[in-house]
Amino acid sequence: MEELQGEKIPRGKIGVRLIFTLICLIIFYVIQFVVQALALIQFIILLITRSYSEPLRKFSNQASTYVYRLVRYITLNDNARPFPFSEFPPVIEPPDETVRFD
């Protein structure tokens, strides 16, 4: 994105960014619902089996990384368009080795 110092950004470029931002906002709200559902499902599994689902835990970690990238783009803190306009982001940090309940 061009610098705001010195010259004006064309409205057409702002409009294109706005369209991508609106699409990302819709995706953000869908993913927000998915993450909430995953958290509830994880706790239901935990209450029933007294152990958590590792695949669900890893997927939730990937989803949180994706949400982070979406928010950075939506708030104009990142110029890279997030998935589905680019590759799915790699995990920022792995989940903790063990889950503690203290």
Q: 31-54 pLDDT, tens per residue? A: 999 999 999 999 999 999 988 888
Match 């990937």 to its residue by tokens: 62
DSSP state of 83: T
Q: What is the mean pLDDT of residues 71-75?
A: 93
The residue ranking higher by pLDDT, 10 or 85, is 10
Whether 6 shows a pLDDT value over 60: the answer reads yes
**Residue 91 · residue 64 · CB < 8 Å:** no
**Rounded to two decimals, what is the model's pTM?**
0.76
Q: 9-29 pLDDT, tens per residue? A: 888 888 999 999 999 999 999
Tokens at residue 77, please? 């803190």
DSSP state of 26: H
